[in-house]
Structure 1
Amino acid sequence: MSSECSGKSSWPELVGAEGEVAKATIEQENPAVTAIIVLEGTPVILNFDCTRVWVWVDTNGTVTKVPKIG
């Protein structure tokens, strides 16, 4: 589905980064999206959205999954 969305759609290089740094990087590299930091295990809405990137972090604030549009 991400092929329908504009700009960069995935940030594998941010796994292991600090969540706030990842958020800023994502929003700078693709101004069409909003990055949302989410603690692992937190329920989120499951609908696909070209303007949203979930940034999954652990309790230390470290990115644990590849952030991608969705």
Structure 2
Amino acid sequence: MASECRGKSSWPELLGAQGVEAAATVERENPLVNAQIVLEGSFVTADFLCTRVRVWVNTRGTVTRVPTIG
């Protein structure tokens, strides 16, 4: 599905970065998306949106999953 979306769709280089900085990088590199910081273990909807990137972080604010469109 991400192939249907425009712009950069995955940020593996942000794994291990700080969530706030990662979210800013995502939005700077693809202005068509809104980056949402989400704490690991949180419940989220299962719908797919080309305009959303979830930035999963642990309790220290460190990115724990590769941010991708969805």
TM value normalised by structure 2: 0.99
Aligned to 2:63: 63
Q: Percent identity?
A: 67
Give the deviation of 1:9 after TM superposition: 0.1
How much does 1:61 deviate?
A: 0.1
Moved over 6 A (4+): none
3-state SS, counterpart of residue 13 of structure 1? helix
| 1:17 has 2:17 as partner | yes
Partner of 1:41: 41
RMSD of aligned alpha carbons = 0.3
Q: Give the counterpart letter for 2:17 in structure 1.
A: A
Extract unaligned runs of 5+ from structure 2: none
1:4-63 alpha-carbon deviations (Å, 9 max, x no partner): 000000000000000000000000000000000000000001100000000000000000
SS in 1 for 2:55: strand
TM-score, with length taken from structure 1: 0.99
1:64, 1:12 → 2: CA distance? Answer: 11
